[in-house]
Amino acid sequence: MPNPTAAMLVIGDEILSGRTRDANMHFLSGELTKTGIDLQEVRIVSDKTSAIVDAVNALRADYDTVITSGGIGPTHDDITADAIAAAFGVSIDVRDDARALLQAHYDRQGSELNTARLRMARIPDGATLIDNPVSVAPGFTLGNVHVMAGVPSVFQAMVASVLPALTGGAPLLSQTLRIQRGEGDIAGPLGELAQEFDDLQIGSYPYQKDGVYGANIVIRGSDSARLNAAMTKLSGLFPA
């Protein structure tokens, strides 16, 4: 049985402008791979309602699970919750349980739950909350879409909250062989190996460092015996 599939949607003007380098995608891809869920697509869109709506609707139709990051804070550019509600065609308003979480948090801090902060209690109809042990303001799950914060520490905590509920397949294992020869020298035998082991994914990731060409050959699959067999054959083809 093929592994469940996932897509990620990053709502991130700051990444598209080059100001920030994404960290959440890299974290999530590693976690999903360990869980046996295939991350098959990532989209990064800007803070525009239409861009978010279109991307969410395309991805939730195509993949088993969608995880979004960013845009659920209290400022004017935090429009993700409203966009998700629009994508699903449901209404959205401040919800009592989310408001209670925030009220208790700001009471403890001695801060005011002002209008801006109350935006973070806006939850689309029918969603369930995602626990946020870092900064309280919750994410939410609607259908197969999990909506999380963009701040990496909060995003990671929310992934940890959701991941156990996602049923993964067998974890994807990988082995890597670094070959210090140009891809053009190894491509022929490598292609034959990929045909022989067509139940595995064999990828060639070239590098060039100080004028020396090489490639990391990564073999992925969930059957460790097959993985070992392919790696043994690969090492034999290209002895160090």
Nearer to a second copy, 115 or 164 (CB): 115
User: How far is residue 157's CA from residue 133's CA, in Å, rounded to a whole number?
Assistant: 7
Least distance between a second copy and beta carbon 169 (Å):
14
Residue 120 and residue 135 in contact, taking contact as beta carbons nearer than 8 Å = no
* Residue nearer to a second copy on the CB measure, 128 or 208: 208
Residue 210 Cα distances to 205, 213, 214, angstroms: 17, 9, 11
CB atoms within 10 A of CB 216: 13
Q: Which is nearer to a second copy, 144 or 204 (CB)?
A: 204
Q: How far is the CB of 179 from a second copy (least distance, A)?
A: 11
Cα separation of the two ends of the chain: 36
Residues 33/171, Cβ–Cβ less than 8 Å = yes
Identify the burial level of 162 via C-beta atoms within 10 angstroms of its C-beta, where 0-12 means exposed, 13-18 middle and 19 or more buried.
middle
- Output the smallest distance, CB 16 to a second copy, in A: 5
Compute the least distance from the CB of residue 208 to a second copy, in Å. 6
43 versus 146: smaller Cβ distance to a second copy = 43
Measured from the CB atom, the residue of 24 and 141 that comes closer to a second copy is 24
Query: Minimum distance from CB of 126 to a second copy (Å)?
Result: 26
Say if CB 68 and CB 80 are below 8 A apart: yes
Tokens at residue 169, please? 């397949």
Question: In this structure, what DSSP letter does residue 171 have?
Answer: P
Q: How far is the CB of 197 from a second copy (least distance, A)?
A: 12
Closer Cβ to a second copy, 19 or 225, answer by number: 19
